[in-house]
Amino acid sequence: MTGAPLSLDESDFIVEHLLASNLDGKQISGFVAGNNAFGLEVYLKDYATNDERAKESRTYLVRDAVSNELACYFSLRTCLVPIALSDGLFSTVPAIELSNFAVNERYKAKERAIQKVGAYVLAAFIRPIAQYVSEFVGAKWLCIYALPDDKLIGYYGKLGFSRLPAEQESFVYSHVKPKYDDGCIFMYQPL
């Protein structure tokens, strides 16, 4: 494909739970994450199914509605974010964590006219799911542990995510940062 970028709408993609998907194993095993995010590939290929069955997170596959290709995937789960108060006390903010989020580099390479797939998926699917869930369980933030890449941090900033003040960020890391996210940067946005 060449020419101007296509505008996207919800009919361009199909979103489904991992365990409800009719994608074959080849499409999942062929998923390639960019930005040195090999861990996101490993998660999808080796751990997502077990986490889904154990109800530790819910993974969604985003397929191109025309080609049926796997374009993107994301995983969501609930979390509590600790916030330091005065005198050694702390509170928590209920949140929904975007625990995994990656666009398939193979899909992006083939569909050059489709740009900003990640931004589109966040706006069209991830935020609406998080907002819907927050109506039932109460959650104030959508949060992510972003890979420590300045370009990626800037990208998430453009998508509406913010960092906490340095002292609060350190407090989060010292209390709940999962080993899986070691070295990653906590970011959030209000729901």
Tally of CB atoms within 10 A around 56: 13
Which residue's structure tokens are 């796997």? 70
Its sign, for the CA torsion 21, 23, 102, 172, is positive
The tokens for 37 are 């995010």
Averaged over successive runs of 10 residues, the pLDDT of the chain (191 residues) comes to 42 89 84 85 94 95 92 96 90 96 89 75 95 95 92 94 94 77 88 96
The tokens for 12 are 């361009």
Task: Calculate the CA dihedral of residues 21, 11, 32, 34 and round it to 10 degrees.
Answer: -140
Contact 8, 66 (CB under 8 A): no
pLDDT in the model for residue 131: 96
Tell me the C-alpha to C-alpha distance, in Å, between residue 147 and each of 46, 137, 183.
Answer: 20, 28, 7
Instruction: Quote the CA–CA distance of 11 and 130 in Å, as a whole number.
Output: 20
CA 65 to chain centre: 20
pLDDT in the model for residue 24: 74
pLDDT in the model for residue 138: 92
Instruction: Say how many CA atoms lie within 13 Å of 105 toward its Cβ.
Output: 10
Global pTM exceeds 0.85: yes
pLDDT in the model for residue 178: 63
Instruction: Quote the CA–CA distance of 180 and 190 in Å, as a whole number.
Output: 24
Residues 6+ apart with CB under 8 A from 133: 76, 78, 96, 139
pLDDT in the model for residue 4: 36
Contact 101, 37 (CB under 8 A): no
Helix (H, G, I), strand (E, B) or coil at 182: coil
For 10-190, CATH number out of 2.50.20.10, 3.40.630.30, 3.30.70.141, 3.30.70.580 equals 3.40.630.30
pLDDT in the model for residue 142: 98
Instruction: Quote the CA–CA distance of 186 and 163 in Å, as a whole number.
Output: 6
